[in-house]
Amino acid sequence: MSGIKLLSLPKIVDKRGNLSFIENLEHIPFEIQRVYWIYDVPSGEKRGGHAFIKQQEYIVALSGSFDVVTDDGENSTTTSLNRSYNGIYIPNGIWRELNNFSTNSVALILSSTQYNLNDYIRDYNEFLIFKSDVQK
């Protein structure tokens, strides 16, 4: 059980243009401490490639599309995000990478923590050791 899940947001369809929203603790299962976004990604580039010890996150493609590769230490899954009302919830302790960005895509990331360099695991073997320690 990795706990990764697709969570869709409210979508208010309107002929003037659609609208979606996120309310704290209402649409995602954690309190939002930080919001950041990734944009202007050159073709073929990747972001992420690490795990978080404590941080949970919710990622949505506000514009364009990209893939989110998640790995719980046993299974790797690729999820394509291409709607501004469909995102992925990733609990802590998951290795993840964002790749295959389309031109002009924007990845919005909501985080359960403030930025903390010490929360990152950037080495995949270290991640596997962390996962086996957690299971003990």
The answer to whether residues 89 and 29 touch, using CB atoms and an 8 Å cutoff, is yes
Q: In this complex, which beta carbon is closest to ligand TYD, that of residue 18 or of residue 102?
A: 102
Residue span binding ligand TYD (CB under 6 A) among the ranges 22-30, 44-52, 83-91, 124-132? 44-52
Q: Which position among 34, 50, 83, 119 bears the catalytic label?
A: 50
Q: For the chain, what's the residue count?
A: 136
CA–CA distance from 128 to each of 46, 58, 63, 103, 134 (Å)? Answer: 21, 23, 33, 33, 10
> Are the C-beta atoms of 130 and 93 separated by less than 8 Å?
yes
Q: Which of 6, 39, 115, 132 binds ligand TYD (CB under 6 A)?
A: 115
Instruction: By CB under 6 A, name the one of 2, 50, 62, 79 that touches ligand TYD.
Output: 50
Give residues in contact with ligand TYD (CB under 6 A).
34, 36, 47-48, 50, 115
